Structure 1
Amino acid sequence: MSVRSKIRELKPSSPSNDSRKAHQTLTLPAILSTARKFSLVKKTLVTMCVVFTIYAVFTTFFTPTATSKLEPSFPSDIFGSAASIATVSRESLLRSSFGHPPVKIYLYDLPERFTYGVIRHHSLARGVRPVQDVTTLSYPGHQHMAEWYLFKDLLRPEWERIGSPVVRVLDPEEADLFYVPFFSSLSLIVNPIRPPSATGGDSTPVYSDEETQEALVEWLEAQEYWKRNNGRDHVIVASDPNAMYRVVDKVKNSILLVSDFGRLRPDQGSLVKDVILPYSHRINTYTGQISVENRDTLLFFMGNRYRKEGGKIRDLLFQLLEKEEDVIIKHGTQSRESRRAASHGMHASKFCLNPAGDTPSACRLFDAIVSLCVPVIVSDNIELPFEDVIDYRKIAIFVETSTALKPGFLVSMLRAITQERILEFQKELKEVNHYFDYGEPNGTVNEIWRQIVRKVPLIKLMINREKRLVKRDSNEPVCSCVCSNQTGILTSL
């Protein structure tokens, strides 16, 4: 047998016509059906991946998420790998948005005495029964609540901190900045020293803000990272003008978060290194439309008539304005009834008077802004928050003190302003009022962090500069951040 014949024998026989037809009838549809099912599964999987990705990005970066209750202690990475992934993604987003890596901030785990312990003393001073877990106590509302909102923000998991330009780190070696969460303004409110109650006897604790300030500095000065750069890369809130007054010279190198510089010397505070904070408004935000139809009062003011220092202008303005038609100016104290009356008055007025208080700034400016009541600012030395992003000339009227005290001038000027101009002011106020809302997901808190971030390059410059300079004595007051007193070259190897 030839090789060719053997090969023909080894080849499989061809199917008959009937079997070929059966194969075409049964097998081909099955194959096509399987292919269609595979394609459908593939498309479904791709669609699910796309939807999941969009949902993750949207949830991470755009959906405001409220935290109903803080964790009772400073939490570590309790949210596992999901939070880590969100943090990495947010760092990438921040890098692309700002052109540099996000600023890393370390939250000091202060002794309870300086945080929740202050809330406990405030609570006890007002007759609230003691509790075992102080973290269950509510921080009381007042006009200097920035210290609470910033602290609360850093306790949130990173995936909730939408739009924040800072990332909290748990390793201090990674940190660019160190946040000191001392409730300095609340500590001041607890003062004067609270004596033992009639029933508590000697067992009732006595509180001293001065002693607490000094204890904080003692604690800080013992920390490695404070000593490393003389506190320059630390952030401390002192928004009440009298907060930290006892120890300000010992913390003046730090980034101070203040309401103004009314109680600070030029060598203690400066726009160069510090950040101006808005007061926490106590008036309800106006939710109506831009309009002058329901604002029948020309000018409104309600607050303490008698103040110290620059605030003495209030009494003089009372004397000029209290008998003017369509002007409401009256004495009021910090109480629930006064806030309710002030809220109604601001919402029904075209202009709100904002004279200086004991220091150049006062909380009513921010009450007026969220009320869409055009602020009339009579305070020659006022410093304002966020002026790199807000042009206050578009939302407020500034009048020099000497001019405002001319009889008839203020009222005549305001009556000459047209309704169209008032509407323009209101439109601008509505555009910027989120900057003054501490409860807004991307409001005041995030803007404060942005202001702090902008200080970092200068802080690093001063830290490096200080390493090569030796300090000399000088009688001239200088900004503690811009200059290192009188300096000279320090020889280095």
Structure 2
Amino acid sequence: MPNSLLLLLLVLRAVAGDAAADSADPCAGRRIHIRDLPPRFNTHLLRHCDAAFPLADPSSSVTSAPTCESLANHGLGPRTHARSRSWYRTDARLLEPFFHRRLLERRCLVADPSLADAVFLPYYAALDSIPYVLDPSLLNSSALHGASLAQFLARDRPQILARRHGHDHFMVLGGSAWDHSQPPHAEPRLLGTTSLVRLPEFENFTFLALESRSWPWQEHAIPHPTSFHPASLPRLEAWLARARRSHRTTLMLFAGGVSRPSRPNIRGSILAECANRTDACVVVDCSAGKCSHDPVRYMRPMLGAKFCLEPPGDTPTRRSTFDAILAGCVPVFFEDAAARRQYGWHLPPGRYDEFSVYIQKETVVLGGVKIGETLAAVPDAEVRGMRERALEMAPRVLYRRHGSTAELREAGNDAVDLAVDGALRRIRRRARALEEGQPEGIYAQEDDSVDA
């Protein structure tokens, strides 16, 4: 037998063996140990909620008892109205307790960390950062954010951390990685930021954040939570059917702050163009957090629009992008960092033109390009195709409710499932590199994205 054919036969046998092993053990490579942390690292931090999220719970005060309404339904927030079964007033900053709750439902959890392929840290990092963010007197101490957790991990059963030097650990950040990436010894300190992801004790951890920086291999972006959290397949299908049949009479929509910038930028250009084209453009005023916990304010207009404009704000990414996808409103991006470089586990990398439009912001701000004219020139058939593709991807970017039906779980992976699967792939890759004695492979910028 020729050597090439022999080699091919051996490869096929190995692949078949791996497939047989996986079918015999569905948890192979997927076992997760949820680290048991003292309450001061998670549940006790929920006491900060009233003080930190006054917009989420207007009836509460900083001095009241810790009854923050945003914590209802394990972090999804209260229902939008009494009869709602899928819509909640969700605050994305409480993603950490909700993600923790969802992981407790996963199969393949193991109590023995030595049997685990990955270790999840249920650390409510965004909540733990609140004292440093809100109290100016702690500004110079913000580099200590996460230090007590690092000390605990080094002291309590240190073999768990030492086994793979932290390469098998992952955690979730209910915010942007930029908010926690200030160098520990930076001077002067920036108010509102900490150094969590820059601490050397966490340098090998995987961080799942609502927005990642473009270069650190430790970080990966996961979708901003929307307010839609279905618990059954019929409720998901009913919403998608509504979005498909919605009558769209508006060309484009912008939902965001409406204050005019002091110097030219893409938001100012959008507001100016919409002011001159009220027949074709709808602006939803979301200033001062008006839309944060009131999805009706923007979802109904999105259902009536063909395109949703997604300009960058304080940071490149926006929750509105995922609201638009759920509504079947074709997202319009103005810079690559807004999504194209962020969500490779949830959105199809390299194929954004299938469900979105890209208009370079400089051509609008400085080049005189009109957004409305550009979008009006897109053929209706292409718009329908992009809308359908967006709605096909919608189940991948939403966070279904905890305790959802088996039928919905078996219908496909949601944002949590894809985030965990992506973290497991990264961790397995690093484990192989360590076992093969190739530490440089740990840091290689391999493409671990998965086509949607």
Tell me the TM-score range normalised by the shorter chain: 0.5 to 0.7
Cα distance change on mapping 1:407 and 1:331 into 2, 3 Å: farther
| Letter aligned with residue 225 of structure 1 | I
Pair 1:148 & 2:97 matched: yes
Q: Does the CA-based 8 Å contact 2:346-2:397 persist in structure 1?
A: no
For residues 257-315 of structure 1, what are the alpha-carbon distances to aligned partners after superposition, in whole Å with 9 as ceiling and x for unaligned?
Answer: 123334x7x3xx23xx543201001369854446577211111111125699x995323
Structure 1: how far apart are the matches of 2:151 and 2:260? Answer: 34
Pair 1:275 & 2:220 matched: yes
| Letter aligned with residue 103 of structure 2 | L
Pair 1:236 & 2:236 matched: no
Cα distance change on mapping 1:225 and 1:100 into 2, 3 Å: closer
Q: CA deviation at 1:247?
A: 2.4
Q: Does the CA-based 8 Å contact 2:48-2:130 persist in structure 1?
A: no
1:225 paired residue number: 160
2:388 paired residue number: 427
Q: CA deviation at 1:322?
A: 2.9
Structure 1: how far apart are the matches of 2:133 and 2:227? Answer: 24
1:37 paired residue number: none
Indicate which of 432, 441, 444 corresponds to 1:482. Answer: 444
For residues 167-206 of structure 1, what are the alpha-carbon distances to aligned partners after superposition, in whole Å with 9 as ceiling and x for unaligned?
Answer: 21100111111111112234446764469xxxxxxxxxxx
2:426 paired residue number: 455
Cα distance change on mapping 1:247 and 1:173 into 2, 3 Å: same
Q: State how 1:26-37 maps to structure 2 within 5 Å.
A: none
Q: CA deviation at 1:150?
A: 2.7
Structure 1: how far apart are the matches of 2:256 and 2:346? Answer: 29
Q: Does the CA-based 8 Å contact 1:105-1:175 persist in structure 2?
A: yes
Structure 1: how far apart are the matches of 2:357 and 2:220? Answer: 23
Larger Rg: 1
Deviates more, 1:141-150 or 1:411-420: 141-150
Please provide the CA RMSD for this pair. 3.7
Indicate which of 349, 363, 373 corresponds to 1:403. Answer: 363
Q: State how 1:341-490 maps to structure 2 within 5 Å.
A: 341-382=297-338, 383-387=341-345, 390=348, 391-405=351-365, 406-439=367-400, 441=409, 442-464=413-435, 481-482=443-444
Pair 1:304 & 2:257 matched: yes
Structure 1: how far apart are the matches of 2:316 and 2:119? Answer: 29
Q: Does the CA-based 8 Å contact 1:106-1:172 persist in structure 2?
A: yes
Q: CA deviation at 1:148?
A: 2.9
Q: Does the CA-based 8 Å contact 2:346-2:415 persist in structure 1?
A: no
2:196 paired residue number: 247
Structure 2: how far apart are the matches of 1:234 and 1:172? Answer: 11
Cα distance change on mapping 1:225 and 1:178 into 2, 3 Å: same
Q: CA deviation at 1:338?
A: 5.6
| Letter aligned with residue 321 of structure 1 | C
2:12 paired residue number: none
Cα distance change on mapping 1:240 and 1:130 into 2, 3 Å: closer
Structure 2: how far apart are the matches of 1:94 and 1:345? Answer: 50
Structure 2: how far apart are the matches of 1:145 and 1:400? Answer: 33
Structure 1: how far apart are the matches of 2:20 and 2:416? Answer: 19
Q: Normalising by structure 1, what TM-score? A: 0.62
| Count of matched residue positions in the alignment of Structure 1 and Structure 2 | 353
Structure 2: how far apart are the matches of 1:381 and 1:136? Answer: 33
Deviates more, 1:211-220 or 1:430-439: 211-220
Q: CA deviation at 1:99?
A: 8.6
Q: CA deviation at 1:373?
A: 0.4
Structure 2: how far apart are the matches of 1:373 and 1:444? Answer: 19
Q: Does the CA-based 8 Å contact 2:154-2:161 persist in structure 1?
A: yes
Structure 1: how far apart are the matches of 2:249 and 2:373? Answer: 16
Structure 2: how far apart are the matches of 1:358 and 1:368? Answer: 19
Pair 1:129 & 2:65 matched: yes
Runs of 4+ with >6 A deviation: 97-100
Unaligned runs of 5+ in 1: 1-91, 196-207, 470-477, 484-493
Deviates more, 1:313-322 or 1:354-363: 313-322
Unaligned runs of 5+ in 2: 1-18, 53-59, 78-89, 182-194, 230-235, 402-408, 446-452
Q: Does the CA-based 8 Å contact 2:48-2:66 persist in structure 1?
A: no
Q: Report the 3-state secondary structure (helix = DSSP H, G, I; strand = E; otherwise coil) of the residue aligned with 1:258.
A: strand
Q: CA deviation at 1:116?
A: 1.0
Q: Report the 3-state secondary structure (helix = DSSP H, G, I; strand = E; otherwise coil) of the residue aligned with 1:240.
A: strand
Cα distance change on mapping 1:307 and 1:378 into 2, 3 Å: farther
Give the % identical residues. 20
